Chain A
Amino acid sequence: MADTLTEPTAPPKRQPDGTRQRLADRDGFLAWIFLVPTVVYIVALVAIPFFMAIAFAFSDVTAGNPSYGWVGLENFYRVFDDAVFWQALGNTFVFTAISMVLIVVLGKVLAMILVADFKGKWLVRFLVLLPWTTPVALSSVTWLWLLHSIYSPIDWVLRNVGLIEDNMYFLGRPGLAMASVIAVHVWRLVPLAAVIMMVGILSIPDDITEASRIDGAGFWRRMFEVTIPLTFPLIAVAALFGAIFTFTDMAVVYVLTGGGPTNSTHVLASWSFVRGIGGGDIGQGAVIALFLFPLLLAAAVLILRAVRKMETI
């Protein structure tokens, strides 16, 4: 890496009068050339579709009839009249809030394991990261089997210990189904949060840890008075990333419960999909999805604040 600095090749000679400035040297020109492709791409495939989504919310566009017709707030009324929408909105919040707390606490524990030095750490790291690196639809299928109504091994253990007579039907009861969805989200996102927090722990200078150790601070004291305050911005980033992934995800709900039993586990994303693609009513789907946006905006502002803070430390 560093040896590129001492590369022996002779640099090209610059014009002695310094008046000729090549394009490759003009910062303003380079800044534009470097940025334009990304900006064009994002405007074309994020900004325009975003405004299209807003436009769809006020339209009668369906999968069968894509011609645009203005219908005003019609779609909003129809969405609000449906109890499933309010259930989905509530679920989105509940799932996100509970998972976020669990993700932060467990992520912190896992982060400390990831940076610790011990025998077999490579294997432990590998196993611990599996939930995050596996495509979420596939791991949800595994959970579907793990929570199966007849063959669940969890049921088998509980039966054999004598705690339950009948099976639990994890995905068949609204309360347990919601808990299952949250459990899968937490299980899947804790490794990501841990990797983010790990970066924070690694960036604490060693002498600070050493100094507090020499001063006699024990494990808990070091954690609460040194590590957590110093890495707080990254903990916040991990929390908000966890929240965003839970908030916008529909794969877990779609694969695990399909929104059931009787629509009790739908979230905004999955309900929007059911309406917009399943039912072909793009207008209604767009209205439901739009409810994701104001909350994400708030999350974005919080993340940016955390990052600002990190840069000034």
Chain B
Amino acid sequence: MAAPTATAPRSDVPTAAETARLRRRYARRDIMSRVSLYVVAILAALVCAGPFVWSTLTATKLNADLYNPQHNPFLYNKPPTADHVMFLFTDTAFATFAWNTLWVGLLVVLITLVLGVPAAYSIARLNRPWSTPMGIAIFFVYLVPPSLLFLSLSRVVVSTGLQDSTWSLVLIYPTITVPVSTWLLIGFLKALPRDIEEQAMVDGYSRLGAMLRTILPLLFPGMVAVVVFAFTLTASEFIYALTFISPTEEKVVSTGVPTELIRGDVFFWQSLQAANILIAVPIAFVFNLFLARFISGFTMGAVKG
């Protein structure tokens, strides 16, 4: 880590000259590490967010500005316009896609917690002989990818009559989120000392009562991690959404935008980029809020890895 500290005292180096020399050395090292930290941080931010900056510029350019290879792509050569952003809302089902992604994501997160938290508690805490194998089995399930299951699941979806409905995603997406979330939650639960519920049980609570009153609140950071992770996975999912759903009004963002804004050979480039920004920024913002909370939870020792 490059974070600096005050010069370190060295008891075995007594002379004043030595100390001064060392102090200079450490100060130099300190400045160097600060500078390189900022350089690397700015570079990383540019590489990661560069495509989004480019997206934002593109989204607000006039056709005459955009489709001229001589124009500097990093500047507005003609005045910016919001027309292509408005086009998303007036002439495409973008708002419907975004809404579908949101409610599917929230429902899936809810189902994931309802299934995952008790399952994780059962495996991590209730000491059955099958606890360990079951934990491993759940982890293996996570590794069976959508690209392996989509063909058979498309038949399952057809047989439930949910094909071409967004509800098919609510039914299927927990297959992605439940195993990984349960696995994460088991990790968080193992980090909590067992004395906590045992103490509550000595005080007269039932096992269930002890879990609800003591473990659930302490598991909160873990649940936050699960919520964020599950939502991101759901919003990014592509292959199921592409396989199960074809009517426009049932699509989610990740399939709706690439299939409806690219019509044959016609790419609505500005609107495509606007869609990307409008979805990316809010998700990253919320994710970041949770991450900051997660990190501070860590550094305060609320969760110990």
Contacts and interface: CB of A to CB of B under 8 A. Distances in A.
Given A151-B66, A202-B298, A118 B174 contact: no
B276 interface: yes
Interface string B1-28: 1110100111000000000000000000
Contacts of A151: 66-67, 69, 73
Contacts of B121: 34
Interface string B263-290: 0000101001101100111011101100
Contact of B144 (A12, A140, A293): A293
A113 B44 contact: yes
A97 interface: no
B288 A125 contact: yes
Contact of B257 (A141, A191, A210, A213): A141
Interface in A106-122: 109-110, 112-118, 121-122
A200 interface: yes
A124 B118 contact: no
A25 interface: yes
A142 B52 contact: yes
Interface in B113-146: 114-116, 118-119, 121-123, 126-128, 134, 136, 138-141, 143-146
B1 A126 contact: no
Interface residues of A, number: 120
Contacts of A136: 236, 238, 254
A145 B273 contact: yes
Given A25-B207, A38-B116, A151-B69, A187 B147 contact: no
A141 B41 contact: no
A191 B199 CA distance: 40
Contacts of A122: 288, 292
A105 interface: no
A76 interface: no
B218 interface: yes
Contact of B118 (A34, A110, A114, A126): A34
A115 B126 contact: no
B148 A292 contact: yes
A130 B48 contact: yes
| Residue from A13, A110, A138, A156 with most neighbouring chain B CB atoms (10 Å) | A138
B149 interface: yes
Contact of B69 (A26, A34, A37, A150): A150
Contacts of A110: 44
Given A113-B41, A142-B52, A153 B255 contact: no
Interface in A155-185: 156
Contact of B37 (A31, A118, A134): A118
Nearest to B218: A1
Contact of A45 (B150, B156, B281): B156
Interface in A33-82: 33-35, 37-39, 41-42, 45-50, 52-53, 56, 66
B193 to A, nearest CB: 12
Nearest to B211: A30
A276 B150 CA distance: 9
Interface string A301-313: 0011000000100
A289 B151 contact: yes
Contacts of B37: 113, 116, 118
B205 A109 contact: no
Interface of B: 1-3, 5, 8-10, 29, 33-34, 37-38, 40-42, 44-45, 47-49, 51-52, 54-55, 58, 66-67, 69, 72-74, 101, 114-116, 118-119, 121-123, 126-128, 134, 136, 138-141, 143-156, 171-172, 174-175, 178-179, 182, 190, 196, 199-200, 203-209, 213-214, 217-218, 220, 232, 235-236, 238-239, 242-243, 253-255, 257-258, 262, 267, 269, 272-273, 275-276, 279-281, 283-285, 287-288, 291-292, 295, 298-299, 302, 304-305
Query: Which 8 residue pairs are nearest across A and B when measured between Cβ atoms?
Result: A203-B305, A248-B145, A34-B118, A269-B147, A52-B152, A34-B122, A127-B49, A11-B204
24 contacts: A4-B213, A34-B122, A38-B118, A39-B119, A53-B152, A56-B152, A110-B44, A112-B1, A125-B291, A128-B45, A134-B52, A135-B101, A135-B238, A135-B279, A138-B253, A138-B258, A199-B305, A214-B10, A216-B8, A219-B2, A244-B143, A251-B236, A269-B145, A303-B139
